[in-house]
Amino acid sequence: MFFRLTRRFWLRLVVAAIFLLPLIWLLTAALHPVGRPLPTSLTFSLDLTLQNFRRVWELVPFGRFTLNSLLVVLLAVPLTLITSSWAGFGMAQLPKPSQRRWIVLSLAVLMVPGVALWVTRFLLYTRLGWYDSILALIAPAFMGSSPFFVLMFYRAFRRIPTAIYEAARLEGSGVLASWWQIGLPSARPTAVGVAILSFVLYWGDFVSPLLYLRSESRYTLPIALQLLQQLTLSDWPLLMAGAVLATAVPVGLFLLLQPYFARLGH
C-alpha cells in the first residue's frame, strides 16, 4: 500500500513538473540580465534581476492595459455564463427531434473559422457604433461566446430527469425559476468549466482588439505584448517579463480555485 501511494505521488510530481517547466523557463528568462542573450539550453543561474519588469512599465502603459483586460473579462465571463446557459437550457427543453437539429446546427457553426467573421463583425460594429469601444470586445458574449459552451450546458441540463422539470412546472415555477433553481445548481461543474474557458478566451484575445480598437487607451494585454516586441525585436527577456505579468492573473486565479476543484473531484 505504501509503495502504491509513493508511486502515485512520484507520478503526479513528474506530471506537474512537465506542466510547470514552461512557466519556470518563462520566469527565469524574464529575470535574465539585460543585454545578455538567453541560454540555448536549460540552465539555472543566480545572476537574476528585476530590471526587465521595471522596463515593461516604463515602455508601455502596462497598468492601463491590464485594467482594460480585467474589465473585458469581468463583463464577458458573466454574460457568457448567462447566455450560453440559457441557450443550453432551452435546447434541453425541446423535443428530441428539435434537439438533434439544434445540435447539428451548433456543430456546423462551430466549424466556421473565425477569420470568416472578421469583416462581417467589423461592418456590424461600425454600423452599431461599437467600433473602438469595449462593446466590440464583449459582443460575442451576448451570444454565448462559442457554440461549444452552449453544447456543454446542454449536455449538463440534459442529464436532469424530465420529471423534475415537470414537477417544478406543477408547483408554478416558470422557465427562469427552473433554470436558476434546478438547472444551474446541477450544472455547477459545467459553469465553472465554461467560466474558465471563457476567461482564457477573452484574456488572451489578440485579434479583436487589433481589429476593432483604434484608441491606445483601450488596448488590452495581448496588444501590450505585441508593442513590446515591436519596440525591441531582440530583447527577449523584456518580452518574457511582459508575458509573466500577463500570465500572473490566470495562474493566480487557477491557484485560488484549487480548493473548489478538489471539492468537485470528491
Write the DSSP string, 180-199.
Answer: IIIIHHHTHHHHHHHHHHHH
> What's the grid cell of residue 264?
468537485
Buried-exposed string 84-110: b where 16+ CB fall within 10 A, e elsewhere: bbbbbbbbbbeeeeeeeebbeebeeee
Q: pLDDT of 78-96, one tens digit each?
A: 999 999 999 999 999 888 8
Enclosing domain of residue 176: 63-265
Task: Tell me what the mean pLDDT of segment 63-87 comes to.
Answer: 94
List all residues 6 or more positions away from 8 whose beta carbon is below 8 Å from its beta carbon: none
Task: Please give the pLDDT value at position 2.
Answer: 47
60/77 Cα distance (integer angstroms): 27
Count: domains in the chain: 1
Condensed to tens digits (0 to 9), the pLDDT of residues 211-251 reads: 999 988 899 999 988 888 887 777 788 888 888 888 888 88
Q: What are the C-alpha distances in Å from 108 to residues 141, 148, 232? A: 19, 11, 42
In this structure, is residue 205 part of a structural domain?
yes
As given in the structure block, the three cell numbers for residue 66 are 491590464
pTM given for the model: 0.85
Joined together, the cell numbers standing for residue 75 give 463583463
Mean per-residue pLDDT of the chain:
85
CB 76 within 8 A of CB 138: yes
Give Cβ neighbours of residue 105 (< 8 Å, ≥ 6 apart). none
User: Which percentage of the chain shows pLDDT scores above 70?
Assistant: 91
- pLDDT per position as a tens digit, 99-118: 999 999 999 998 988 888 89
Burial of 112 by CB count in 10 Å (0-12 exposed, 13-18 middle, 19+ buried)? exposed
Q: CB of 47 within 8 A of CB of 33?
A: yes
Does some domain include residue 134? yes
Q: Is residue 8 part of a domain?
A: no
Cell numbers standing for residue 108: 456546423
* Strand positions, DSSP E, 24-108: none
d(CA 137, CA 212): 8
- CATH code for position 104: 1.10.3720.10
Judge whether 199 lies within some domain: yes
Higher pLDDT among residues 32 and 70, named by residue:
70
Give the model's confidence band at 51: pLDDT under 50 very low, under 70 low, under 90 confident, else very high: confident
Give the tens place of pLDDT for each residue, 4-20: 557 777 787 788 778 88
Distance separating alpha carbons of residues 67 and 56, to the nearest angstrom: 16
Is pLDDT of 48 > 80? Answer: no
- The three three-digit cell numbers of residue 91, written as one number: 435546447
Q: Over range 28-32, report the average pLDDT.
A: 81
Task: Identify residue 114 by its one-letter amino acid code.
Answer: G
pLDDT digits (tens, 9 = 90+) for 143-159: 999 999 999 999 999 98
Residue 223 within any structural domain of the chain: yes
Residue 158 is assigned to a structural domain of this protein:
yes
Q: Which segments of the chain are extended strands (E)?
A: none
The reply to whether 110 falls in a domain is: yes
Q: What are all long-range contacts of 93-102, with beta carbons under 8 Å and residues at least 24 apart?
A: 93/165, 93/175, 99/154, 99/158
| 112 within some domain | yes
pLDDT tens for 173-195 read 788 888 888 888 888 889 988 99
